[in-house]
Amino acid sequence: MSRTSLNIALIQQSDQGSAAANLDDCEAAIRAASIRGCNLVLLQELHNGPYFCQTEDPALFDLAEPIPGPTTERLSGLARELELVIVGSLFERRAPGLYHNTAVVLDSDGSLAGIYRKMHIPDDPGYYEKFYFTPGDLGFNPVDTAVGRLGVLVCWDQWFPEAARLMALAGAQLLLYPTAIGWDPKDTPDEQARQLDAWITIQRSHAIANGLTIAACNRVGFEPDPSGITSGARFWGNSFICGPQGEILARADDQSPKLLVAEVDLARTEQVRRVWPFLRDRRIDAYGDLGRRYRD
């Protein structure tokens, strides 16, 4: 049964050097979140290891695992024991030669409530995800859980208003973004500040435009490029939770791991949408060109 108020925990981590160590770190933080009364825990993107997409290496496909699989089994056991909902992020091996960047939702009884396969796949210096991940084929469908209907999206998805809107139109009660994004150490401080501000602003805009709470959980710390071609990435943390008017409820810094907790009132969506009725005033009769790549 869904509720209107819940405590959300975001687990902002740095890589611990191995999948086993990272999962141990996840478990310790999840247990700490449970002690603090959290009903929902969001982990960062690809939390089992470093962000391996900085380089293209066929051997790294060995990191992928099936769903259900070892990680979902471990998270399932924690969800069942602690009676909370956990959203994790995995490198999914769907079939030989077919891999996805996939979010998994474990319900409070330990069951696999649903999955979301990342739809927007970047391909930029240091973010060579198209080499590893097939674009998602499940669409933008929220996952029903004991704490409500969760609109789960992943990292690059967070820049696209269409994804947030479609989740909202499907009845999502909040939007969740597991994330791995950072700075090129060679960028100037001004450029780094602009990038971070853009990242926070675009997600706050999704909250405002849809009248929904959003939570974005990013990793933190420097990770070298294994190929040595680039300067590596310094992941900027700043995991945050904001309400349906874009108000910041909690935010981490860019320096250290953090268990970020906030209480959110999902009932505010109804209150805010009555005053700011964006869904009512949408001109759905005039948006046909949104289905085109570009208007030449």
pLDDT per residue as tens digits for the range 260-277: 999 999 999 999 999 999
C-beta pairs of 91-96 under 8 Å, 24+ apart in sequence: 91/46, 91/48, 91/63, 91/64, 91/65, 91/132, 92/64, 92/65, 92/66, 92/67, 92/117, 93/61, 93/64, 93/65, 93/66, 94/66, 94/134
CATH, domain 5-281, list 3.40.50.740, 3.60.110.10, 1.10.10.60, 3.10.20.740: 3.60.110.10
Q: Is the pTM of this model over 0.75?
A: yes
**pLDDT confidence of residue 2:** 58
**pLDDT confidence of residue 3:** 74
Catalytically active residues are 45, 118, 155
pLDDT per residue as tens digits for the range 149-185: 999 999 999 999 999 999 999 999 999 999 999 999 9
pLDDT per residue as tens digits for the range 2-30: 578 899 999 999 999 999 999 999 999 99
